[in-house]
Chains A and B, each alone.
Chain A
Amino acid sequence: MSGSSNGFVDQTLDNGLRIVIEPMSTVQSAAAGFLVRTGARDETPELAGVSHFLEHMCFKGTAKRDWHQITIEFDEMGSTYNAYTSKERTFYFGWVRTEDLQRQMELLGDMMRSVIPPQEFETEKKVILEEIAMSADQMDSCIYDLIHERLYAGHSLAWPVLGTTETISALGRDQLFEYFEGRYHPANMVLIVAGAVDPEATLKMAERFCGAWKPKAPRPRRIEPPTITPAVHVRIADRFQQQALAIAYPAPSATHPDREDADVFAAILGGHNSRFFWKIIQAGLAPYVAAGRLDYCDAAIMIAFGFCEPDKAEALLEGMKQELSRATRDGVTRDEVQRVKNRTRTALTTEAEAPYYRLMQLVHDIDVLGGPRNVEERLAAVEAVTPDSILAYLKRWPIAGPGSLTSMGPRNWPDGSPFVL
Chain B
Amino acid sequence: MSEEESYLHRRLDCGIELATLPLAGRRTTAYEIRVVAGLADEPDDLGGLARLVEQTIAKGTEKRSAQALSDAFDSLGAKIGSGVGRESQVYRCSCLPEYVDEALALHAEMLRTPTFPEEFCRVAVDLAQQELTALEDEPGELSRKLLAPNAYGRRLGRHELGSRESLARINREHLVAFWREHFTPAKMQVSIAGAIDAEAVGGLLERLFADFGGPRLACSNGHSAEFMPGQNHHQKALEQEHILICWPGTTITDRDYPVERLAVSALGEGMSSRLFVEVREKRGLVYWVGAWDEHPRKTGRIFLGASTTPARCDQTYGALLGEVDRLGKDLSQQELDRARVGIIAKMQTHGDITRARVAELCSDLFHYGRPVPLAEKRDLLLAVTIPDVQRYLNEHPRDKLCVQTLGPTMLEGRPT
Q: Interface of A with B (CB < 8 Å)?
A: 26-29, 59, 67-68, 71-72, 74-80, 95-97, 100, 122-131, 133-134, 136-139, 239-242, 272-273, 278, 281-284, 286-288, 307-309, 312, 335, 338-339, 342-347, 349-350, 352-357
Contact = CB atoms under 8 A, between A and B. Distances in A.
Given A28-B2, A123-B281, A346-B78, A287 B134 contact: yes
A138 B142 CA distance: 12
Interface stretch (B37-45, B174-182, B341-349, B393-401): B341-349
Interface string B344-375: 11101111111100000000000000000000
Given A67-B281, A76-B341, A242-B133, A343 B239 contact: no
Interface in B98-145: 120, 122-123, 126-127, 130-131, 133-134, 136-139
Contacts of A68: 272, 277, 281
A350 B348 contact: no
A240 B334 CA distance: 45
A272 to B, nearest CB: 8
B349 A29 contact: yes
Interface string B302-337: 000001110000000000000000000000001001
7 A-B pairs closest in CB distance: A78-B345, A126-B284, A342-B77, A71-B271, A339-B74, A131-B287, A71-B272
Most buried by B among A78, A352, A356: A78
B127 A281 contact: yes
B28 interface: yes
A350 B194 CA distance: 11
Interface in B38-84: 66-67, 70-71, 73-79
A333 B284 CA distance: 54
Contacts of B78: 346
B94 to A, nearest CB: 6
A71 B137 CA distance: 33
Contacts of A74: 270-272
B31 to A, nearest CB: 13
B26 A350 contact: no
A353 B338 contact: no
B284 A59 contact: no
A133 B355 contact: no
A226 to B, nearest CB: 32
Given A134-B239, A139-B137, A282-B120, A287 B130 contact: yes
A71 B76 contact: no
Contacts of A134: 239-240, 287-288, 307
Contacts of A78: 341-346, 349
A182 to B, nearest CB: 27
A68 B133 CA distance: 42
B247 interface: no
Contact of A242 (B67, B79, B137): B137
B240 A59 contact: no
B150 to A, nearest CB: 23
B243 interface: no
Contacts of A288: 134
B271 A287 contact: no
B201 to A, nearest CB: 19
B282 A75 contact: no
Nearest to A77: B345
A97 B378 CA distance: 15
B414 interface: no
B349 to A, nearest CB: 4
B352 A353 contact: yes
B270 A123 contact: no
Given A77-B345, A242-B134, A287-B131, A137 B285 contact: no
Describe A's contact surface by its main secondary structure: helix
A130 B27 contact: no
A67 B284 CA distance: 14
A97 B270 contact: no
A27 B126 contact: no
Contacts of B308: 130
Nearest to B131: A287
B286 interface: yes
B389 interface: no
Contacts of B383: none
15 contacts: A76-B337, A95-B349, A123-B282, A130-B309, A137-B240, A242-B137, A287-B127, A287-B134, A338-B75, A342-B75, A343-B79, A346-B28, A346-B95, A353-B26, A357-B353
Contacts of B200: none
Nearest to B316: A130
Given A133-B309, A353-B352, A339 B134 contact: no
A79 B269 CA distance: 12
Nearest to B139: A137
A239 B271 contact: no
B238 interface: yes
Most buried by B among A29, A95, A133, A137: A137
Given A335-B71, A352-B27, A80 B346 contact: yes
Given A134-B307, A287-B131, A350 B355 contact: yes
B168 to A, nearest CB: 15
Contacts of B350: 80
A354 B353 contact: yes
A123 B96 contact: no
Interface string B241-283: 0000000000000000000000000000011110011001111
A161 B286 CA distance: 19
A386 B61 CA distance: 31
Contact of A77 (B120, B134, B284, B341): B341
A164 to B, nearest CB: 13
B23 to A, nearest CB: 10
Contacts of B345: 77-79, 96-97, 100
Given A75-B338, A239-B237, A273 B70 contact: yes
A349 B96 contact: yes
A283 B123 contact: yes
A338 B77 CA distance: 9
Nearest to A196: B352
Contacts of B123: 282-284
Contact of A130 (B70, B130, B287, B349): B287
Contacts of A241: 133-134, 136-137
Nearest to B24: A26
Contact of A346 (B96, B122, B281, B287): B96
Most buried by A among B28, B136, B287, B343: B287
B76 to A, nearest CB: 7
Nearest to A339: B74
